[in-house]
Structures are given as C-alpha cells and as structure tokens.
Amino acid sequence: MSMTVLAADLVEPIASTGRLVVAALVAIAVIVALILWAKLNAFISLTIGALLVSTSPEPIWAPRSRASRPASGTRSRASGC
C-alpha cells in the first residue's frame, strides 16, 4: 500500500486571501516597472519580484503540525480512488 502526499497536504496558508492577492499584485507591478521603465533584464526582474514576495513581513505559508496531517493509513486526495 503506497501513500502519495501532496505539497498542499504539508502546508497551510496562514495569511488571508486578500493579503496573498495584494502580494501578487505588488510583485507583478514591480516586475513590469523594472522591465519597462528601468529597462532591466526580464530574468533579473522576475528574480527581484520573487525575492520581494518571499521577504514579506510575515510568512504567507506555514508548515502543518504533525497533529493536523492525515494519518499514515488514510487515503490522500492524490490517490485517485
């Protein structure tokens, strides 16, 4: 018997949906500004945008505690059955 574990089973969002949307929109705006106005390489702009989101003041995702993970004998959503 094999058990497939999805990454979504290991983490849970600790920020509100609105905060996630705002972080994504800010990152997109920074990337576009760096490419269009600063004439920076797209790869470097994307890297800076990713670093911006990853260094937000509070974490967006947190690892789940072992108590909230499914038991090893239970089926995962990825099992397909």
Kindly report, residue by residue over 10-43, the tens digit of the pLDDT: 666 666 777 778 888 889 999 999 999 999 999 9
Report yes or no on 72 lying in a domain.
no
Instruction: Say if 33 falls within a structural domain.
Output: yes
Q: What is the per-residue pLDDT for 53?
A: 83
Residue 37 structure tokens: 């106005």
In a domain? residue 50: yes
The domain tally of the chain equals 1
Please report the DSSP string for 12-80 in residue order: EE-S-HHHHHHHHHHHHHHHHHHHHTS---HHHHHHHHHHHHHT-SS-SEEEPPGGGSPPTTSPPGGG-
- Write down the pTM of the prediction: 0.56
Tell whether 74 is covered by a domain.
no
Residue-wise pLDDT tens digits, 50-61: 998 888 766 665
Q: Note whether residue 3 is domain-resident.
A: no
Residue 32 lies in a domain: yes
Q: Which domain holds residue 56?
A: 13-60
